[in-house]
């Protein structure tokens, strides 16, 4: 049979070369090699067991905070013993299957995956018979009431969603800032005078309420309430040369070039305090939104769609910086409803 005849015969453009001749592994023909492989594999498994025991010993023997080679000794010992133990099990298993397990080739022919015509007609007939016998199409009242009952089953899931918590009440415009609340240094809680802030200075600040206590000496804000309030009320104070301020409205909300802005990015709510004092730009590290604080916090770059909110500040009788009220626009990430009216 010539090649061309084979091609015509099978319909394949390239003739089927058939299976290659089976080649044997050293362990199939050499008994010494087989014994050696057996020893190798059991050594790997044995080492793995030893390392796992080593893991347990290390867990109890090594003190928690000892360091070794610039890292934590305990972490290093636990990681390397357990990691190598798992690695040796894997290496043993692969060596086992590659050298000693049976090695004959198997051929499985491909075949179509569609069902036979007979199966298809039988299945269709069974379905139609079932539909006819149940009267599902005929008894419309039963069908409709069943569909209604199944549909209503979805309601409990919707009702139970209420348990996930109350709807967030109030607009995010509402923070704890109010007229007369002192602006104090974050962490130390020290109140600020105008003279404390130099030109080109950045102060990360908070409302003094977070450092105050009630009659019983308990903090006004604690725990998650403190974190929630802090996450909305955080501000930065910056001082610029009054001549550099190009937005008179914004400049009027501050005193002598000291302006107070929300520390929460109006894009997605990251804390922003990367203030480049020379360009007077405030940069958000998350998505590079850039706000010009000398121009009322206007967006000059990045995905933010609105200016960073500014807090109007003033001085109390003792000369300390205070807020003149709450923010007049929502702080934090923007949301669709914000732009509806």
Contact between 29 and another protein per CB under 8 A: yes
Contact between 78 and another protein per CB under 8 A: no
Give dist(CA 120, CA 111) in Å, integer: 18
Contact between 81 and another protein per CB under 8 A: no
At 61, list the tokens: 């023997």
Measured between alpha carbons, how far is residue 226 from residues 90, 207, 223 in Å? 51, 11, 5
Contact between 52 and another protein per CB under 8 A: no
Q: Which residue has the tokens 């025991």?
A: 53
Among 9, 193, 287, 305, binds another protein (CB under 8 A): 193
Burial of 19 (0-12, 13-18, 19+ CB in 10 A): exposed
Report the nearest approach of another protein to the CB of residue 65 (Å). 8
Contact between 174 and another protein per CB under 8 A: no
Q: How far apart are the first and last CA of the chain?
A: 86
Report the nearest approach of another protein to the CB of residue 155 (Å). 42
Report the nearest approach of another protein to the CB of residue 189 (Å). 11
Contact between 283 and another protein per CB under 8 A: yes
**Eight-state DSSP code of residue 76:** H
Per-residue contact flags (x/-) with another protein for residues 284 to 303, judged by CB under 8 A: -x--x-x----------x--
Query: Under a CB-based contact definition with an 8 Å cutoff, are residues 182 and 324 in contact?
Result: no
Contact between 28 and another protein per CB under 8 A: yes
Query: Under a CB-based contact definition with an 8 Å cutoff, are residues 242 and 257 in contact?
Result: yes
Stretch that binds another protein, among 51-59, 114-122, 186-194, 333-341 (CB under 8 A): 186-194
Give dist(CA 66, CA 22) in Å, integer: 57
Q: Which residues bind another protein (CB under 8 A)?
A: 23-26, 28-29, 67, 70-72, 75-76, 79, 94, 98, 185-188, 190, 192-193, 195-204, 238, 271-279, 281, 283, 285, 288, 290, 301
């Amino acid at each position: 049979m010539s090649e061309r005849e084979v091609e015509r015969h099978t319909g394949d453009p390239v003739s089927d070369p058939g299976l290659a001749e089976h080649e044997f592994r050293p362990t199939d023909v050499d008994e010494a090699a087989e014994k050696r492989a057996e020893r190798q594999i059991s050594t790997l498994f044995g080492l793995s067991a030893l390392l796992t025991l080593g893991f347990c010993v290390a867990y109890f023997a090594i003190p928690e905070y000892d360091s070794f080679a610039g890292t934590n000794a305990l972490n290093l010992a636990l990681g390397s013993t357990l990691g190598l133990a798992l690695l040796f099990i894997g290496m043993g298993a692969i060596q086992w299957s590659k050298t000693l397990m049976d090695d004959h080739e198997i051929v499985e022919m491909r075949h179509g995956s569609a069902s036979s015509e007979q199966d298809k007609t039988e299945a269709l007939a069974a379905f139609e018979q079932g539909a006819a016998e149940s009267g599902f199409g005929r008894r419309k009242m039963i069908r409709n009431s069943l569909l209604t009952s199944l549909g209503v089953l979805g309601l409990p899931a919707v009702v139970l969603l209420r348990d996930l918590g109350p709807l967030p009440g109030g607009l995010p415009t509402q923070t704890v800032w109010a007229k007369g609340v002192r602006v104090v240094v974050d962490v130390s809680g020290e109140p600020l005078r105008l003279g404390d802030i130099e030109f080109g200075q950045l102060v990360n600040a908070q409302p003094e309420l977070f450092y105050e206590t009630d009659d019983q000496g308990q903090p006004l804000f604690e725990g998650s309430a403190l974190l929630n309030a802090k996450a909305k009320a955080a501000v930065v104070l910056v001082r610029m040369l009054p001549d550099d301020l190009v937005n008179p409205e914004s400049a009027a909300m501050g005193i002598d070039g000291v302006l107070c802005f929300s520390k929460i990015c109006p894009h997605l709510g990251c804390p922003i305090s990367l203030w480049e004092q020379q360009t007077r730009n405030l940069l958000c590290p998350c998505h590079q939104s850039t706000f010009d604080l000398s121009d009322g916090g206007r967006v000059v770059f990045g995905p933010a769609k609105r200016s960073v909110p500014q807090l109007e500040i003033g001085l109390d009788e003792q000369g300390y910086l205070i807020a003149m009220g709450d923010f007049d626009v929502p702080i934090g990430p923007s949301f669709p409803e914000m732009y509806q009216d």
